[in-house]
Chain A
Amino acid sequence: MKVGRIAGYAVLTVYAVISVYPFLWMVSGAIKTREEVLAGGHLIPRLPTWDTLVTTWNQLHFVEYFRNSLVVTGLTVLGVLVVYSLASYAFAVLEFPGRRALFWFFVSLLFVPGITMLLPVVILEKNLGILGSHLGLVLPFVNGTAPLTVLLLTGAYRSIPKELREAARADGAREARIFWSVYLPLSRPAHITIAVLTAVPTWNEYVLTRVSINDPSLYTLPLGLETLISSQVPRYNEVMAASLIIVLPVIALFLFLQRYFVNGLLGAIKG
């Protein structure tokens, strides 16, 4: 029994190290000088310095990139929550012809590869005149989350007892009111789960952003980071500093929300 427990902790520790390993080197690279990062060597820097972080931040308009990333991610999360909480509510509790068909239609979009849609989206946006704007990113991002979001939120709303809705209706509440005052507050963990599952890939999105944004003043963080590595010999201390700037906010967000996130995921599985 005791041997088993020690072995268990050994396994857990090894995988914990594997999980954080690239991240440790990211931090280490970010606080190394240019000479030391070129020389390779140890994880713990001999001459740790904040200069790389500061210069990378200033030199690369990171304030601008950061703001752009916040705008795109924020609008996408907001759009996803508004659009698909409404739709999922309809799928979960309302009665109307075509409900099941529409629900399965949205879920089956999960199997349309992003690359199949990428080129037509770019052509469409060129014709609409929104290619290269932040709106041109947010609209397809929101649309792209439809399958998983509808699946999870419909499950979450279904798990809320029908009696609550009936009681509210008996009190004369209309659908909009029941949705707003009963279903939304009771589904907060599910909404937070959706927010995290949407925010992380949006914050890191590179493919559509790369082919649609040309104006450097609209660059998001991943595009800013890319400009650093396109030079022949990448200065890895700067690349790692910029990478750290990108991942820290997401880590903070996750740590802050993780309790709800886990509960929301649990609810989604049960539902």
Chain B
Amino acid sequence: MTTQHVAGRVRPPGRWRAALTGYAFVFPAVALFAVMGVYTIGSGLALSFAKWNGFTPDWIWVGFENYLDLIYADPSLAPPLRAASWNTVQVMVLVPLLTVAISLPLAVVLNSVRRLRAVLRSVYFLPYVTSGIAVYYAWRYILEPDGAINLLLRSLGLGTLAQPQGFLGNPSTALPTLIVVLVWSSVPIATLLYLTGLQAIDPALFEAARIDGAAPRQVLRRITWPLLTPLTAGVVLLGVRDSLHGFQIFLIMTGGGPGGHTDVLGLQAYRLAFFKGLAATLGVSSALGWLLFAGALLLTLVNARLLRRVR
């Protein structure tokens, strides 16, 4: 025992032993993924080439039919899919853009004040902490026809902007309203990231710029913005991902309505998987899930390239 101990001290433990230790540490994560990931990804991919309703014992193999049905062949699937794609794209572009446009200036201003900074930081973080079904219901409540937002607009003399059917009931305001709510819930993390990023910048840089007579706007453009680019990349990437993946808010606040005006791709896949009764739509739902995955991958690669060029 003692000799082994001493030996371990003198020369590094054998390679195989180090490798074994490494594998022991990653084992729980890999095991969990083997059960919850490998099988599910495999069977999900297989299912996307079959027709199944979840109850019959056998799958019927159909090759690429599910994919073709979704893209153009099936008149009951392809047109709603196209509409939902357009809605998804709008969300995917506008939410990250607006999030950056609001949270970066907010973080810069917050970083420049001393008093109340800690309190305000907590207040700004509230939408993240509360985000979920409860706060979406609160939004539904204030967006009702007699809700707080309409009331506020009327009391400010902006009654023409009020929506008598409610903001979620009017087909032309429903999607923009949801985009606003999504931005509202993604600003907190982005602001906090920017704030921590700003505090990590060397104050001497700002000081030097000030001595050289740079205007605040120039400082923002030439120093702050370039130094925060990696963070912006992260915020945009996570925003795009969330918009493409997430549909919880659409499910809870509008269910895709009115008349499909807020339908998104994730929500369609969800309905095809769980709300079609005995119809054999599970394969189509899987295929749609994989199309989403392909889209996410493609966008990430494009984003990564663009960002590398910007840097």
Which residues of A are at the interface with B, using a C-beta cutoff of 8 A? 5, 8-9, 11-12, 15-16, 18-23, 25-26, 29, 40-41, 43, 82-84, 86-87, 89-91, 94-97, 99, 102, 106, 109-124, 139-140, 142-143, 146, 150, 170, 172, 175, 179, 200-201, 203-207, 211, 222, 225-226, 229, 236, 239-240, 242-244, 246-247, 250-251, 254-255, 258, 262, 265-266, 269-270
Evaluate whether A23 and B130 lie within 8 angstroms (CB atoms) in the complex, with A111-B241, A120-B40 already known. Answer: yes
Minimum CB distance partner of A252 in chain B: B129
**Stretch among B73-81, B92-100, B169-177, B244-252 lining the A interface:** B244-252
> Complex: how many Å from CA A263 to CA B280?
50
Evaluate whether A12 and B113 lie within 8 angstroms (CB atoms) in the complex, with A87-B26, A97-B19, A113-B244 already known. Answer: yes
> Complex: how many Å from CA A73 to CA B239?
24
What are the interface flags for B98-140 relative to A under an 8 Å C-beta threshold, 1 for contact and 0 otherwise? Answer: 0000100110011011001000111111111111111101110
Q: Which of B28, B105, B142, B269 contacts A86 (CB 8 A)?
A: B28
What are the interface flags for B217-254 relative to A under an 8 Å C-beta threshold, 1 for contact and 0 otherwise? Answer: 00000000000000100000000010011111001100
Contact partners of B132 in chain A: CB under 8 A: 200-201, 203-206, 222, 246
Evaluate whether A89 and B25 lie within 8 angstroms (CB atoms) in the complex, with A119-B47, A204-B133, A225-B137 already known. Answer: yes
Q: Is the interface of A mostly helix, strand, loop or mixed?
A: helix
Q: Which of A115, A140, A244 contacts B289 (CB 8 A)?
A: A115
Contact A116 B25 (CB under 8 A): no
With both chains docked as a complex, state the minimum distance between the C-beta of B125 and any C-beta of chain A, in angstroms: 7
Evaluate whether A239 and B141 lie within 8 angstroms (CB atoms) in the complex, with A25-B148, A94-B21 already known. Answer: yes
> Complex: how many Å from CA A246 to CA B193?
26
Q: List 5 A-B contacts (CB under 8 A).
A: A25-B148, A26-B141, A122-B273, A240-B137, A246-B132
Contact partners of B23 in chain A: CB under 8 A: 90, 96
B285 within 8 A of A: yes
> Complex: how many Å from CA A114 to CA B243?
12
Contact B25 A117 (CB under 8 A): no
